[in-house]
Amino acid sequence: MIKNDLFLRALKGETLDRPPVWMMRQAGRYLPEFMELKEKYDFFTRCQTPELASEITVQPIRRYGMDAAILFSDILVIPQAMNIEVEMKPNFGPYLPNPIRTVEDLDRVVVPNIQDSLGYVLDAISMTKEKLQDEIPLIGFAGSPWTILCYCVEGQGSKSFDKARGFCFTQPEAAHQLLQKITDTTIAYLKAKVKAGVNAVQIFDSWGGMLSPVDYQEFSWKYIQQIVDALKDEAPVIVFGKGCWFALKEMSQSGASALGVDWTCSAQNARYLTGGKITLQGNFDPARLLSPPEVIKNMVTQMIREFGKDRYVVNLGHGILPHIPLENAKAFIDAVKDYSE
């Protein structure tokens, strides 16, 4: 039994004294202990070495005592497992030397055996569970099929992913083939994570907001829905779509346990669009963690009042930024822990 199960109870919609709190990208670059490991090991070595991944996962928990841990990994381990080469270049980000641009390129893309290709992630889950000692739940995650496609086609990060969108609009059949392969791999991967011990899963649709509402339905949402359908009876599923407020109503009817909201959508709008019947997660502007600690505490308290303490998970509206002062991250977490009506 998980000793602090606030997070899991919030996902079930139970009445709580205060909402739970964790931060997207909490295991990472704003922590000095993480930076020490970064100096010694390259990015994918950290992801692919279970001892390192599990250590990085618990670093923020030791320091701040969040109500949930999220496994340190990356969304791009999925294309790697699918026989698409991915490098992480310093001061550049992800780089895929052989992007998918044609139907012929799809021939080399496989739906892998998860144990063979991503067994290191499952080992990291076991090691992390051992370290957490059932104190708090562990979250596993994956990127949405559309977000993964964006990198596979573009070959790198982008502000607009024009090549990825162009691929979908000029070669829709090939795009849907690729999206389905990614979806099948993601379902198998998340099921394996649940079996290995994660208590909930989150789907990150980081680039969903690049699409129009109509294209979002065709190239992103219907694949996320497949993942939710496949997982929802095995573990709670959180869907986070950055810039996807226009799809919140449909998302709220998907069977997901919770929806992440970014900072461009107000609590009032998010509750209205989702009918007030689903747990919401978010949506503090990550850059607002640069404000003084007292301001952060007041803003977090106000945010909880606006969302309401029930059916709510306090989080950022996207990942924590690298240059956030440690005491500011602490102010964010403490504000939630100290909250009382």
Q: For every one of its 341 residues, what pLDDT tens digit does the chain have, with 9 covering 90 and above?
A: 999 999 999 999 999 999 999 999 999 999 999 999 999 999 999 999 999 999 999 999 999 999 999 999 999 999 999 999 999 999 899 999 999 999 999 999 999 999 999 999 999 999 999 999 999 999 999 999 999 999 999 999 999 999 999 999 999 999 999 999 999 999 999 999 999 999 999 999 999 999 999 999 999 999 999 999 999 999 999 999 999 999 999 999 999 999 999 999 999 999 999 999 999 999 999 999 999 999 999 999 999 999 999 999 999 999 999 999 999 999 999 999 999 98
Which CATH number goes with the domain that contains 81? 3.20.20.210
Contact in structure between 66 and 333 (CB atoms under 8 Å): yes
Burial of 111 from C-beta contacts in 10 A (0-12 / 13-18 / 19+): middle
Q: Which of 180, 176, 182 is closest to 77 using CA atoms?
A: 182
Q: CA-CA distance, 44 to 41, in Å (whole number)?
A: 8
Domain count, the chain: 1
Tokens for 311, please give them. Answer: 């059916």
Residue 242 placed within a domain:
yes
Phi, psi of 237 (to 5 degrees): -120, 130
| Residue 174 counted as an annotated binding residue | no
Q: CA-CA distance, 315 to 280, in Å (whole number)?
A: 10
Amino acid at 105: D
| Residue 17 counted as an annotated binding residue | no
Give the domain extent around 73: 6-337
| Residue 318 counted as an annotated binding residue | yes
Tokens for 228, please give them. Answer: 């939710």
Burial of 85 from C-beta contacts in 10 A (0-12 / 13-18 / 19+): exposed
3-state secondary structure of 205: strand
Q: What is the pLDDT of residue 293?
A: 98
Q: CA-CA distance, 312 to 310, in Å (whole number)?
A: 5
Q: Measured between alpha carbons, how far apart are the two ends of the chain, in Å?
A: 28
113 cis-preceded (ω within 30 degrees of 0): no
Q: Which of 250, 255, 254 is closest to 233 using CA atoms?
A: 255
Task: Tell me the pTM.
Answer: 0.98
Provide the pairing of β-strand 258-261 with 279-284: parallel
Q: CA-CA distance, 8 to 54, in Å (whole number)?
A: 21
| Residue 28 counted as an annotated binding residue | yes
Q: Which of 171, 181, 190 is closest to 228 using CA atoms?
A: 190
Residue 11 placed within a domain:
yes
Residue 34 placed within a domain:
yes
| Residue 206 counted as an annotated binding residue | yes
| Residue 26 counted as an annotated binding residue | yes
Residue 306 placed within a domain:
yes
Residue 180 placed within a domain:
yes
Q: What is the pLDDT of residue 341?
A: 84
Residue 1 placed within a domain:
no
